[in-house]
Amino acid sequence: LPPSIQTTGYLVVLDHIMNRLHRNKTLGKHTWIFIDEFHILLANKFSSEYIAKIYKTGRKENAIPTIITQNIADVIKNEDGCKILSNSEFAMILKQKPLDLPPICKIFDISDEESRYVTDSPSGQGIIVYGDDKVIFRNQVSKDSYIYELNQTSNMQVSRG
C-alpha cells in the first residue's frame, strides 16, 4: 500500500480480524491468526497498538495469534512488540545474530549454554520455549525431498529450482 493509506489499510484488516474473532467465538470456534513480517506492522503506531490489543484480549476470543519475523531486534525495540513477546507462552527461536541475542535470552530466560544453539547454527536448529520449559531441536530435511521443496524459503534455492 502507498504510505498515505497504509494506516487505514492496516486498521481495516485488523478490525476485520477482530470482528471475525468475535463471530467465531459465538460459533464456538478457535481462530488461528498468522502475522508474517510482524516487524513491518510494528513500525506503524496504530497497527502496533491494535496487534497488542489482539494479543491481550485474544484468549477471551478463542484466538491463537502467531507472529513470524526475521527481524526480532525490531520487535524487541518496540514497546508493544516486547509486551507481546513477554506474554507469549510459546516461541520457536532459530538462528540469531549475536547482537540480537542478549535481549531475546532475557525475555525467554535462555541461558548462555542454551543460546549457543541459535548462534552460528545450521538451518533447522533452534530452541522451542514453552512456558518455563525449553527444548533444543534439530529438524533437518533432505534437500532432495518434496517437503524441503515445499517449505524452503532461501531465494538462492528457489532461483536454482
Place of cell 514453552: 130
| DSSP-derived secondary structure letter, 67 | E
Side-chain half-sphere CA neighbours of 47 within 13 A? 21
Residue 8, pLDDT above cutoff 90 = yes
Share of the chain above pLDDT 70, in %: 96
Q: Give residue 123's pLDDT band: very low, low, confident or very high (50, 70, 90).
A: confident
Q: Are 123 and 113 in contact (CB under 8 A)?
A: no
Residue 119, pLDDT above cutoff 70 = yes
Residue 3, pLDDT above cutoff 90 = no
Question: How would you class 66 by CB atoms within 10 Å of its CB: exposed for 0-12, middle for 13-18, buried for 19 or more?
Answer: middle
Please list the residue range(s) of the chain that carry CATH number 3.40.50.300: 1-88
C-alpha pair distances (Å), 38 with each of 27, 80, 106, 115, 161? 28, 11, 20, 23, 28
Q: CA 152 to CA 133: how far, in whole Å?
A: 28
CATH superfamily of 1-88: P-loop containing nucleotide triphosphate hydrolases (3.40.50.300)
Q: Give residue 86's pLDDT band: very low, low, confident or very high (50, 70, 90).
A: confident
Residue 35, pLDDT above cutoff 60 = yes
Residue 161, pLDDT above cutoff 80 = no
Residue 99, pLDDT above cutoff 90 = no
